[in-house]
A and B are shown apart, each in its own frame.
Chain A
C-alpha cells in the first residue's frame, strides 16, 4: 500500500511532463488527461486514507523512502515521503479540490489557445504541492515549496502578453524567494545544530538545543511561512497574483498553496512549542494580517482582489491559531480545510461571473446578476455564509474554535487576540456582504467592454457549475462533520498534539458574540450598499478607504524602502564597475601605454644613433672593466 505514496506525486508529474513536452498533438484532449490524472491522484489519496483508518492511531504514520538524493559526508538528504494524519488531510484537500478545479478549468479555459500548457502547469502544481506536504525532511519540503512557487509564477503569468500579469508573476516569485531564504537559513541552522534536517531526528533532538537557536530556527520558518502564505510583511504579492486565470486563484491562491505556511508551522510544532518568543511573533503576524487583509478586502472594487484580501485575512486566522501552540494547531488545520472549500468555491463563483460578464472584474459594473446566474448565485451565497461564520455552516465551526483558542491564551494577550479575531469577524461579514450585494443584487450597472458590446450574462456550462456545487456542499457540511464528536481533532492529535483551552467564558458565549458580530457586519454592509443605488464610479472615499485601495500603502512602502534604493544601488554598482574598477584597469593600461610612447622616442630610426650608443656602451664597459682591474 505504501508504494502508492510516490504514485500520488508521480501521476500529476507525469501529466505535466506529457502535456508540456507532448506538443500540439495533445491540444485537443490534453486537458482531459490532466484532469484524469488529478482524479487518479485523488483516488490514490482516498485509498491511502482508507488504509490509514484501518490502523490504530500509533501506526498511522508511514515512511516510504525512495533513494538517497544528496549523499555527502555528514550530509544526507533523502527522497523520502512521510504520510501521516496531517499529510493525508492535505493530500485529500489538494487532490480533491485540485481535481474539481481541473474540471472547472476545462470549461473556463475552453477558448484559450494555450489550454494544454495551462493544464500542464496545473498538474505541475499538484505534484509540487504533494511533494511539499509528503516530504519527510525539510530539504525535500523545500523542493515542493519552491516548486509550487514556480507553478504559481507560471500560472499568474499565464497571460504573459499582459505586462501586468508578467510583472505580478515576477513579483510573486521574488517576494516568495525572500521567504524561501528564511527556509534555507532554517535548514542550515538545523544542520549546524543537529546534523540533520529530517523531521524525525530534528524533532527528537529539538529539546537538546538552546533556546536561542530554536527561536532563530522558528523565526526563519516563520519568515518562510510569511512569504508563501502572504502574511505581513511579505503579503504584497497576493493581490497582484489575481492577474492569473481565476481557477488558479481558486486552487493556488486560496485553497492550497497559500496555506503552506500554516502547514509548515504546524509540522514544525515540536520546534515552535519550545520557542515561546517565536510563537508570540507568529501570533502577532497572524493577528495583524487578519485585520490588515480584512481592511483591504473592504475597499477593493475588483471582485478577485476583494477575495484575495479575504484569503490573506483568513490565513491570518490560521497562522494565529498555529501560533497559539497545541491549543490551536488542530483548529488551524480545520479552518484551513473548510476555508479550502468555501474560498475555492467563492473564487470559482467569481470566475463564473467574470465568464458571463466579458471578463469584467469591477463589481461596480455588476449588479442584479442573481436572476441570470442562479447556480452561481446560490453557491456563492453559501460560500459567503460559510466564510462569515453563519451559524451551522462550515466556517462557523472552525472560526469559532480559533476565536475560542485566542481567548483561551489567557491574560491581556488573550483579550487582545480575541478582540482582534472578533473585529476580523465583523469586517469579514461586512466585505463579503458587500461583494454579494454589489454583484448579485441591486440594479444593473453593466458597462460595454472595449469593443462596445454590452455583456450578456448567462449561467456557466456544466463543467464549471458541478465543481461549484460540490464545493458548496463542502462549505455547508464540512465544518459540522469535523466537529461532530471532535472527529477531526482526534484524528490529528497524534501529530499535532492537543491541549484543551480554557477561555475566560463558556464557548457558547463566544459563539453568540461571534454571531452577533457577524450580523453587525452584514447589517452595516446592507445599510451602506443594499438600500440605495451604488455609484458606477467609486467615490473618493475617506483617507482609510483610499489607503486600503492601495493595499494600505504596502506597495508604496516596498517601493520606497526596497525597490528604489535597490535599483539605485544596482545602477551605482554598474557605474562603479565600468568607471571605477574597469576605469582603474583601463587607466593603468593607458599609463603604461603613455610611458612606452615616451620611451619610444629614444628609437630615432637613424643607424648612426644606434651605432653611437653602441660605441658609448662599449666604451663604458671597457673603461669600467679596466677600472675594476686597477682597483
Chain B
C-alpha cells in the first residue's frame, strides 16, 4: 500500500482534533482532541520515517508520546481539581483570571 495514504489519514485525524479543540467546550473532550492531534502527528512522523528510510521520525514520535503522557497527567489533574471546586468541566466557566 502506498505510504502516502497514511499521511492523508494523519491529516484527517489532525483536522478532526483541531476542529474539536475549536468547537467543543468540555475540558475532557478538548483534551481528547488534543491527544488526537498529537497522535495524528505521530502517525505522520512514523510515515515520514518509513518514507525516508531513517529512524529520526520514530525517535521524535517516542518523544511526543512521553511528553503527551506527562501532559495527560498534569492536564487531567488540573481538570479534576477544577471540576471538584467548580462542579463544571466547561472551559468557559473558568474565567477567574480574566479581568
Contacts and interface: CB of A to CB of B under 8 A. Distances in A.
Contact of A600 (B18, B21, B97, B99): B99
A599 interface: no
A163 interface: no
A82 to B, nearest CB: 77
B92 to A, nearest CB: 6
A612 interface: yes
Contact of A611 (B22, B92, B97, B98): B22
B30 A607 contact: yes
B21 A608 contact: yes
Interface in A592-631: 600, 603-608, 611-612, 615
A606 to B, nearest CB: 6
A605 B21 contact: no
A605 B18 CA distance: 19
B21 A606 contact: no
Nearest to B21: A611
A608 B95 contact: no
B94 to A, nearest CB: 9
B97 to A, nearest CB: 8
Interface string B55-99: 000000000000000000000000000000000000110010111
A598 to B, nearest CB: 13
B1 interface: no
B26 to A, nearest CB: 11
A122 B32 CA distance: 95
B91 A607 contact: yes
B18 A615 contact: yes
A481 B46 CA distance: 127
A608 B22 contact: yes
Nearest to B22: A608
A611 B31 CA distance: 13
Contacts of A604: 98
A604 B95 CA distance: 9
Nearest to A615: B18
A595 to B, nearest CB: 15
Interface of B: 18, 21-23, 30, 91-92, 95, 97-99
Please provide the 10 A-B residue pairs with the shortest distance between their CB atoms, ordered closest to farther.
Answer: A605-B98, A605-B95, A608-B22, A607-B91, A611-B21, A612-B22, A611-B22, A606-B92, A615-B18, A600-B99
Given A605-B97, A606-B92, 5 more contacts: A603-B98, A604-B98, A606-B91, A608-B21, A615-B22
